[in-house]
Chains A and B, each alone.
Chain A
């Protein structure tokens, strides 16, 4: 496919509102249509795909690395890599699963690079939970009473702190399963491992999290 003949639309980027697409977000058929058009070089269709999936990809990366600004950059990198690899996408998996796979690679590349850049001083602070700003713009807040919002915010901080103590593999398994709602098979595709390994990681990750969050979990 010749990308240089891409139809560079004059429509403003991101003009398809996420709210309007919320209902259709889980409809893979819509993704397939958009992917086919994007593979033919239609930038407008790809822009719609970005708008549909950016929230999930950003949330996933942010929960993995706990740094809002880097998550913002890395999420963009995911979509740029997706565009470049789009001719090779054969729709054997859902487009969203494929994006998670790219996000997985981008996050692990970034982590490796951070480790190399800080040789001798790296002690997993890349994933340190406390670096997140609780008042960051992306913190969920809509539709809650102040009391509920505060309770949720406190619980969120505790859960995120507990997640940060897990290994990246365990954390990713929990996030993909319990937050993003992927099936075991899809998680195995994203993480490039077997279903058995995913099940094992998820089992131990949940156990660790539940022991760390014992008070919050059993107080409910």
Chain B
């Protein structure tokens, strides 16, 4: 009589996958086989060690934002095609027209403003409630996309930039960011009282 268990059943038994009658029959066939019982104990200990070190579940960071991004992507992908087509048709005439108008306006402002620098100081701007203000996100670099998310529940606004080159660790922001015409690093500018106009 062949008393050797087949490899597949043995592997499932070692990993505690056998159940019911199949388990009972196998247990009976290996009763007294101390080497197999020791191997199963080893596998159990291994699984326990691994499970203790690596949790099966890790809540992703910012879980609500995680869900909301999924919902947003789904809504974007399942938008009715007719609406998209209408939007595309609207873009064909509106975008060139608005671009031309913008260029003309910029030219006209340039001719009027000739050489005069105006300093506008905003004092005590009114607080903007989160999730009601819709910002216009402009990315001057080609290939860089910006997405804007807001959650009134989390009282948070997040702008996600895709395609931005990594900022080198050696970059010193205090040295690279200067106020135009002053030549001083931002960090070196003394704070002004509200309403005070720079001389």
Q: What residue of chain A has the Cβ atom nearest to residue B55's Cβ?
A: A140
Please classify the interface of chain B as helix (H, G, I), strand (E, B), loop, or mixed, using the class held by over half of its residues: helix
Q: What residue of chain B has the Cβ atom nearest to residue A78's Cβ?
A: B70
The answer, yes or no, to whether A113 is at the interface (CB within 8 Å) is: no
A50-69 contacts to B (CB < 8 Å):
50-51, 54-56, 58-59, 62-63, 68
Q: Is the CB of A174 within 8 A of B45?
A: no
Q: Is the CB of A217 within 8 A of B77?
A: no
A111: chain B residues within 8 A (beta carbon): none
A55: chain B residues within 8 A (beta carbon): 57-60
The answer, yes or no, to whether A138 is at the interface (CB within 8 Å) is: yes
A127: chain B residues within 8 A (beta carbon): none
The answer, yes or no, to whether A85 is at the interface (CB within 8 Å) is: no
The answer, yes or no, to whether B51 is at the interface (CB within 8 Å) is: yes
Residue among A13, A174, A184 with the highest chain B CB neighbour number at 10 A: A13
Q: Known: A4-B79, A47-B67, A72-B66. Contact between A58 and B59, CB under 8 A? A: yes
Q: Is the CB of B17 within 8 A of A183?
A: yes
Q: How many residues of B contact A (CB 8 A)?
A: 39
The answer, yes or no, to whether B52 is at the interface (CB within 8 Å) is: yes
A163 to chain B, nearest CB (A): 8
Q: Is the CB of B58 within 8 A of A199?
A: no
B42 to chain A, nearest CB (A): 9
- A residues near B (Cβ < 8 Å) are 3-4, 6, 8, 12-15, 18, 25, 43, 46-47, 50-51, 54-56, 58-59, 62-63, 68, 71-72, 75-76, 79-80, 83-84, 137-138, 140, 152, 155-156, 159-160, 174-175, 177-181, 183-184, 195-196, 199, 202-203, 206, 210, 217, 220
- B residues near A (Cβ < 8 Å) are 7-8, 11-12, 15, 17, 43, 45-47, 49-61, 63-64, 66-71, 73-75, 77-80, 153
Q: Can you list 24 contacts pairing A with B, beta carbon distance less than 8 Å?
A: A8-B71, A13-B67, A13-B71, A14-B67, A15-B64, A43-B74, A47-B67, A47-B71, A50-B67, A54-B59, A54-B66, A72-B60, A72-B61, A76-B69, A80-B74, A84-B77, A155-B49, A174-B50, A177-B47, A178-B51, A196-B8, A199-B11, A203-B11, A217-B49
